[in-house]
Chains A and B, each alone.
Chain A
Amino acid sequence: MPYRLELTGITKRFPGVLANDNVTFAVKPGEIHALLGENGAGKSTLVKMIYGIMQPDAGEIRWDGSPVTVANPKAARKLGIGMVFQHFSLFEALTVLENIALGMDSKIPSRQLEARIRAVMTQYGLLLDPHRTVATLSVGERQRIEIVRALLLEPKLLIMDEPTSVLTPQEVEQLFEVLRKLAAEGCSILYISHKLHEIKALCDTATILRGGKLVDTCDPKQETSRSMAEKMIGAGLKDIVRGEGRSLGQPKLVVSRLSTAKTGHFDVPVDNVSFTVRAGEIFGIAGVAGNGQNALLDALSGEVRSGDKDAITLDGFPLGLLDTTGRRKRGLCAVPEERNGHAAVGDFTLSDNSVLTARDRLGMVMLGLINSGAAKTYTGRVIADFAVKALGPASTAGSLSGGNLQKYIMGREILQKPSVLVVSQPTWGVDAGAAAAIHQALVDLAAAGSAIVVISQDLDELRALCDTLAVINMGHLSPARPTGEMSVEEIGLLMGGVHGQAEARDAVPA
């Protein structure tokens, strides 16, 4: 039996980067094949070539034994390749049905299409109301649309790009059931991830990429998570160094009954959130994306004010009515999730980006005029201390890679020595080396006596980093508990909340 998909010597070059360098591997029919690698290892580029979004500069793709050129996604679908993207290619203002119709290459009368959709949904237990508008659906439900859309084409190969990054552990288990069922029916699955325990649980084979090159093809069940991680990252893993016998100090940041107004149609506000972070403590907030994390960060940073001056206090001083500048002067700094356009201005130089948040704490303004020399000096220090790969303070923020920009942003805030630092997704999309550096910087800042709040969707990160954990779901924050006392299952249930079951009930089966 020929391989379902065979890649030989695939090479793809971008200006300044060799994204894929002579990659060769093959996927058998009915096999669940993991494509493993950290961010920037070239996984996405590779699958984009398989799906016809890009063309390889060199190499050969064979499909069921015969060489093919996948000119575009349409050609890929014609061959029988389906893909579920990490960032969903959905249209929020359109209905589920319209979204799926857009993904079909031939025109099918909408009634007939609806019948087929309902059939597929029942067969795989993917429940959804075809007439709902996508904007009203949860992230997990949106993923189901993508999967249904791919399955309607009866694919022989299904590519899943980081499918679990937005799901609760329970939703992940449901997804795995669907994938196993598909594989049993003979559909090959190319599963892209950097989560090792998932790959061990699901996949038959794993191909590991590093820096665009193929490192190894192995059987994940024969490997340990650590051995695969070392292949993925290259050097031995570095653990976070914590100070010995650390003890937590006085309460620094006290949030009591903080609520925000609902701003947009689909925003989730925070509702009656209370917690306390002590000096030296790293406080983690877990949760699935879109459960009020952004509203919480904005409310803490001062971008959105609640009107209650005592809702947020720092060392007993009420901050609730102060704007971002006032809070920064008092020692509360924040780093939002979105780097380009929120935490930094892509078109500005790094030096000008330092003026954005450090101008008052570091005296860069006199009589309404900006002291650009001071900004430049400070930026130089950030670049040096945090090993930011940039040409210098005059580089634009937009020219930095995601990881380097994040290091710069974290450095810009940390070197201001804030007494409270609130960060959202500190290592999202950042390579392992940079992530380790950022984690270490946060631990060091806490050791120096600052209180730190980390909002993240990455449970592994939170469990490794935080002293205390709470879970946010639909704007509500669970009671905080020491990290060691909470199991993954428990956190998963809190993340799903009642919400997860309610949505399963609401969905209309055929």
Chain B
Amino acid sequence: MSTDLIIAVIITVVGASTPILIAALGELVVERAGVLNLGVEGMMLVGAITAFVIVFVTGNHYLAILMAAAAGVATSLIFGFLTLSLSANQTATGLALTIFGTGLSALAGQGYSAKPVTLLGPLFPGLAADPFWRVLFGYSALVYFALFMVVAIWYFLKRTRAGLILRAVGENDLSAHSIGYSVIGVRYMAVMFGGAMAGIAGACFPLLLTPQWAERMTAGRGWIAVALVVFASWRPFRLLAGAYLFGLVMTMELYAKAGGGPLSAIPSELWAALPYLATVVVLVLISIRRDASTNAPACLGKPFLPSN
């Protein structure tokens, strides 16, 4: 393989994995607070259509990202209200949120399907043109944002008091409550953060990958993000590795087709199914390793029901 090809591969992989990484980082924080929001896919779709419409109307990519985050927060608040304020079943509510986001985005996107927009350009246009340095500096702001958030979330959880409180709430909500922390308040913040990240992750689709709107264009990436959080045993840096691994799996068809040989005879449907099958395989591998589940927040998915 030539250097050029390797660089091309890296750039494709980083691009493809960025939305998964951003969504998974949000979900990681939500789950660390003890909440399981399975509505990531739905929030991503709402973010995607919001970003598309804003960029189509205004041409401003950063405004589009901001509004996608806001739309994600708004959607996540439905989940938050039902599960946190009304103690509704988190699994069912998350599923409902995905069904809702799918329908709402399709409804809002009606009439936008054949319209083109422009992708978000690289953050450093000068370096992006360099045939070598583009591998480090040729990406759009969303990619750097994702990387920054990996470090920021790691620091937040590990080193800050707020992060400690968030972990405590996810670990033992009743204790956190008895010490005097607002379990519901902390969880609302986490859910909203997860919503913002999912919205931005959704924005990646029209702004970073394919410059158009298509119904269900996130194609299950939100669910893969949820699986990645398990795969990463709730640790941000493992999430980074996992997301890039998935980016590689998702873009493998390109290299197989380009490389010729026996691989190019594999039907494209199998390549399309590969990320989903890989998710199953990854979940299997992670569960064979014993210690994986012990890192799960103890209160994950359970409603907070103080006795008094």
Q: Spell out A's residues near B (CB within 8 Å).
A: 48, 52-54, 72-74, 77, 85, 88-94, 98, 101-103, 107, 265
Contact = CB atoms under 8 A, between A and B. Distances in A.
Nearest to A98: B164
A92 B294 CA distance: 11
A133 to B, nearest CB: 11
Interface of B: 161, 164-165, 167-168, 171-172, 174-176, 178-181, 294-295, 297-298, 308
A91 B177 CA distance: 12
Identify the 10 closest CB pairs spanning chains A and B, nearest first.
Answer: A89-B175, A73-B180, A89-B178, A91-B171, A74-B180, A91-B172, A91-B168, A93-B171, A102-B168, A107-B161
A277 to B, nearest CB: 37
Contacts, number: 52
Contacts of A73: 178-180
A103 B179 contact: yes
Given A73-B178, A91-B168, 20 more contacts: A53-B308, A54-B308, A73-B180, A85-B178, A89-B174, A89-B175, A89-B179, A90-B172, A91-B171, A91-B176, A92-B172, A93-B167, A93-B295, A93-B298, A98-B168, A101-B161, A102-B164, A102-B168, A103-B179, A265-B294
Where chain B touches its partner, the secondary structure class is helix
Contacts of B161: 101, 107
Contacts of B179: 73, 89, 102-103
Contacts of A77: 180
Contacts of A93: 167, 171, 295, 297-298
Nearest to A102: B168
Contacts of A90: 172, 175
Contacts of A103: 179
A54 B176 CA distance: 15
Contact of B165 (A48, A54, A88, A102): A102
Contacts of A265: 294
Contacts of B297: 93
A48 B306 CA distance: 13
Where chain A touches its partner, the secondary structure class is loop
A92 B295 CA distance: 11
Contact of A94 (B171, B178, B294): B171
7 contacts: A54-B308, A85-B178, A89-B174, A90-B175, A93-B171, A93-B295, A102-B168
Given A73-B180, A102-B179, A103-B179, A89 B172 contact: yes
Nearest to B294: A265
The CB with the most chain A CB atoms within 10 A, among B167, B174, B178, is that of B178
Nearest to B306: A53
A89 B183 CA distance: 14
A72 B168 contact: no
B153 to A, nearest CB: 18
Contacts of A52: 180
A77 B180 CA distance: 10
Given A93-B298, A107-B161, A48 B167 contact: no
A89 B298 CA distance: 14
Contacts of A74: 180
B174 A92 contact: no
Contacts of B164: 94, 98, 101-102
Contacts of B174: 89
Contacts of A88: 175
Nearest to A108: B161
A48 B298 contact: no
B40 to A, nearest CB: 24
A148 to B, nearest CB: 14
Contacts of B178: 53, 73, 85, 89
A335 to B, nearest CB: 23
A91 B170 CA distance: 9
The CB with the most chain A CB atoms within 10 A, among B174, B295, B297, B308, is that of B308
Given A101-B161, A102-B164, A72 B298 contact: no
Contacts of B167: 91, 93-94
Contacts of A94: 164, 167-168, 171
Contacts of B180: 52, 72-74, 77
B53 to A, nearest CB: 43
Contact of A91 (B175, B295, B308): B175
A89 B174 CA distance: 7
A89 B171 CA distance: 11
Nearest to A54: B308
B298 A92 contact: yes
A236 to B, nearest CB: 33
Contacts of A102: 164-165, 168, 176, 179, 181
A114 B29 CA distance: 27
